[in-house]
């Protein structure tokens, strides 16, 4: 997370503050909408698998999921107290995330984030900075000061670790299960045939450039973004159209000369978007020949971007910023859309033989209620997608067979999520 620290310092030095919200009516008349996530945690990773379904992760310990294009965000249980550095998903139910520390923990869900299973990524205890799952079974991760690459071919049940060499690796992107691109501190790797035993390129052309985002648009077209480390923050976009044999540096608008570029994505051969510090957004419609500035409407550092087609995209950043467009990002504005949550009561607490969970549903919804141990293992599935009417509900739970200790409840509907702890004590 080295580059996030740099961005935080620059934001403080510049005295950056978020722009004020406007009305929902004015926002809908524009193209870009800022969706207030309900948290001030800085988001570092976003992945949308369709126009409606997306995932967002924060190193501050927040994971959000939406199934309606961001109109509502549900806060999910966080599988690691260290928080989450990155997340990747292949559909609305299946995702992987890694912790925000140096432990290199990996977690997997196949139920939309209601529960997480710890996987052993074999990263040598080093933090995983970036994940890429081009298919349900094949996935990659990078990070570490020694520059490691981990790979799975069975959905994360097992991982193989490869040390690529000195130099911190920040980002990985795969066109498919065979062709990928990795970038980091002054170095870039190109992988074919699923590597890394098939690494065909170790490019040190950018020895003075920290590369934080990369994109493999085709086997011959490669992009990377970052900042010149020795130039007090001069933004860099580089492109190769011959498989990395030669590189060209893009000419950027003057405003971006002191911007740290963080992430890049393409939806087709022509349309691409880059995001960075100080609310910076660049967009191309000619395959990277030219890059034009888009107005984000915010001054927050933008860290990650995900598009599902040339028009529909989402950007996340510092201060809980989530930006959404349905027209390719022609403009950026800010509505007020809060994270939904439920007010839940559990009593008595501590409990001995029975405990009650009480909550109010504003509209009829399907409810799932689970009891978990502190390690995250499900102890009891109390309600499994049970349809309930609006109004107050009280669910009695028999706990006489549970061992004494602290437990976690998780209550989730289509629009709401709530979690908390309670104590069982048997005298």
Asked if residue 346 lies in contact with residue 354, where contact means CB atoms within 8 angstroms, the answer is no
- Residue 140: both structure tokens together: 């990659």
**Rounded Cα–Cα distance for residues 138 and 151 (Å):** 7
Closest Cα partner for 118 from 59, 168, 77, 174? 77
Count the Cβ atoms, other than its own, within 10 Å of residue 340.
18
Residues 6+ apart with CB under 8 A from 114: 76, 77, 368, 370, 410, 412
**Rounded Cα–Cα distance for residues 381 and 219 (Å):** 47
**Rounded Cα–Cα distance for residues 361 and 346 (Å):** 16
Superfamily of domain 344-424: Macroglobulin (MG2) domain (2.60.40.1930)
Residues 6+ apart with CB under 8 A from 15: none
Q: What is the pLDDT of residues 168-178, one digit of tens each?
A: 899 999 999 99
Query: Which pLDDT belongs to residue 402?
Result: 92
- Residue 10: both structure tokens together: 């620059």
**Rounded Cα–Cα distance for residues 144 and 243 (Å):** 26
- Residue 398: both structure tokens together: 């028999």
In this predicted model, which residue has the larger pLDDT, 257 or 285?
285
Please state the rounded mean pLDDT for residues 259-269.
93
Cα angle for residues 139, 142, 148 (degrees, 5° grid): 115
Q: What is the pLDDT of residues 213-232, one digit of tens each?
A: 999 999 889 999 999 875 56
Exposed/middle/buried for residue 27 (C-beta within 10 Å: 0-12, 13-18, 19+):
buried
Q: How many CA atoms lie within 13 A of 330 on its CB side?
A: 8
In this predicted model, which residue has the larger pLDDT, 352 or 138?
138
- Block residue for tokens 């209601």: 114
| Bridge-based pairing state of the strands 322-325 and 148-152 | unpaired
Question: Phi and psi of 8, rounded to 5°?
Answer: -60, -40
Residues 6+ apart with CB under 8 A from 77: 63, 113, 114, 115, 116, 376, 408, 410, 419
Please state the rounded mean pLDDT for residues 299-316.
93
DSSP E strand stretches across 90-230 = 95-99, 106-109, 117-119, 128-132, 139-143, 148-152, 160-163, 169-174, 180-184, 188-191, 199-203, 209-216, 222-228
Q: What is the pLDDT of residues 192-206, one digit of tens each?
A: 877 655 554 566 667
In this predicted model, which residue has the larger pLDDT, 393 or 5?
393
Q: What is the pLDDT of residues 229-243, one digit of tens each?
A: 755 678 899 999 988
Residues 6+ apart with CB under 8 A from 250: 237, 238, 239, 288, 290, 291
For the chain, helix, strand, coil in percent to 5 are 5, 45, 50
Please state the rounded mean pLDDT for residues 87-110.
87
Asked if residue 39 lies in contact with residue 62, where contact means CB atoms within 8 angstroms, the answer is yes
Asked if residue 96 lies in contact with residue 104, where contact means CB atoms within 8 angstroms, the answer is no
Query: Which pLDDT belongs to residue 197?
Result: 54
Please state the rounded mean pLDDT for residues 182-186.
89
Which of the 8 DSSP states describes residue 9? H
Q: What confidence category does residue 334 fall into, taking pLDDT thresholds of 50, 70 and 90? A: very low
In this predicted model, which residue has the larger pLDDT, 123 or 372?
372
Beta bridge partners of residue 108, listed in sequence order: 96, 117
Superfamily of domain 2-325: YVTN repeat-like/Quinoprotein amine dehydrogenase (2.130.10.10)
| Bridge-based pairing state of the strands 54-58 and 354-361 | unpaired
DSSP-based three-state secondary structure for 187: coil
Please state the rounded mean pLDDT for residues 89-111.
86
In this predicted structure, the answer to whether residue 332 has a pLDDT above a threshold of 80 is no
Query: Which pLDDT belongs to residue 14?
Result: 33
Query: Which pLDDT belongs to residue 204?
Result: 62
Q: What is the pLDDT of residues 2-32, one digit of tens each?
A: 444 333 333 322 332 223 333 333 333 345 6
* Global pTM value: 0.74
Query: Which pLDDT belongs to residue 376?
Result: 65
Closest Cα partner for 66 from 56, 54, 58? 54
- Residue 238: both structure tokens together: 């580089």
Query: Which pLDDT belongs to residue 23?
Result: 30
Asked if residue 277 lies in contact with residue 260, where contact means CB atoms within 8 angstroms, the answer is yes
Q: What confidence category does residue 115 fall into, taking pLDDT thresholds of 50, 70 and 90? A: confident
Q: What confidence category does residue 110 fall into, taking pLDDT thresholds of 50, 70 and 90? A: very high
**Rounded Cα–Cα distance for residues 289 and 168 (Å):** 29
CA dihedral 92, 93, 95, 97 (to 10 degrees): 100
What are the extents of the domains in the chain? 2-325, 344-424
**Rounded Cα–Cα distance for residues 176 and 303 (Å):** 23
Determine what percent of the chain is predicted with pLDDT higher than 70. Answer: 81
CA dihedral 249, 253, 254, 257 (to 10 degrees): -40
């Amino acid at each position: 997370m080295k580059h996030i620290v740099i961005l935080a310092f620059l934001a403080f030095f510049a005295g950056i503050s978020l722009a004020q919200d406007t009305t929902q009516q004015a926002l809908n008349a524009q193209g870009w909408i800022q969706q207030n996530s309900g948290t001030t945690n800085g988001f570092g990773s976003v992945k949308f698998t369709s126009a409606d379904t997306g995932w967002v992760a924060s190193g501050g310990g927040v994971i959000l999921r939406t199934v309606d294009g961001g109109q509502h965000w549900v806060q999910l249980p966080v599988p690691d107290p260290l928080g989450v550095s990155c997340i990747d998903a292949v559909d609305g139910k299946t995702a992987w995330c890694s912790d925000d520390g140096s432990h290199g923990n990996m977690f997997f869900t196949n139920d939309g984030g209601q529960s997480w299973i710890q996987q052993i990524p074999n990263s040598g205890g080093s933090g995983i900075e970036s994940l890429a799952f081009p298919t349900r079974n094949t996935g990659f991760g990078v990070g570490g000061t020694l520059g490691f690459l981990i790979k799975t071919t069975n959905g994360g049940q097992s991982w193989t670790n490869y040390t690529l060499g000195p130099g911190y690796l920040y980002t990985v992107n795969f066109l498919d299960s065979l062709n990928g691109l990795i970038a980091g501190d002054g170095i870039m790797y190109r992988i074919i045939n699923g590597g890394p035993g098939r690494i065909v390129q170790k490019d040190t052309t950018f020895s003075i450039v920290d590369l934080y985002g990369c994109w493999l648009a085709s086997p011959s077209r490669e992009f990377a973004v970052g900042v010149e480390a020795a130039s007090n923050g001069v933004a860099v976009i580089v492109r190769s159209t011959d498989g990395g044999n030669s590189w060209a540096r893009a000419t950027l608008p003057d405003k971006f000369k002191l911007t740290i570029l963080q992430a890049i994505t393409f939806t087709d051969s022509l349309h691409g978007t880059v995001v960075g510090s100080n609310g910076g957004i660049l967009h191309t419609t000619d395959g990277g020949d030219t890059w034009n500035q888009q107005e984000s409407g915010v001054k927050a550092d933008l860290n990650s971007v995900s598009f599902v087609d040339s028009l529909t995209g989402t950007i996340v950043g510092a201060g809980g910023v989530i930006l959404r467009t349905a027209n390719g990002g022609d403009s950026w504005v800010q509505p007020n859309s809060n994270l939904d949550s439920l007010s839940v009561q559990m009593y008595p607490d501590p409990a001995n033989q029975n405990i009650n969970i009480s909550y109010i549903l504003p509209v009829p919804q399907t409810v799932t209620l689970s009891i978990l141990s502190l390690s995250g293992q499900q102890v009891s599935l109390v309600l499994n997608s049970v349809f309930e009417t609006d109004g107050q509900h009280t669910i009695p739970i028999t706990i006489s067979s549970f061992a004494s200790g602290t437990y976690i409840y998780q209550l989730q509907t289509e629009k709401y999520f709530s979690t908390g702890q309670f104590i069982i004590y048997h005298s």
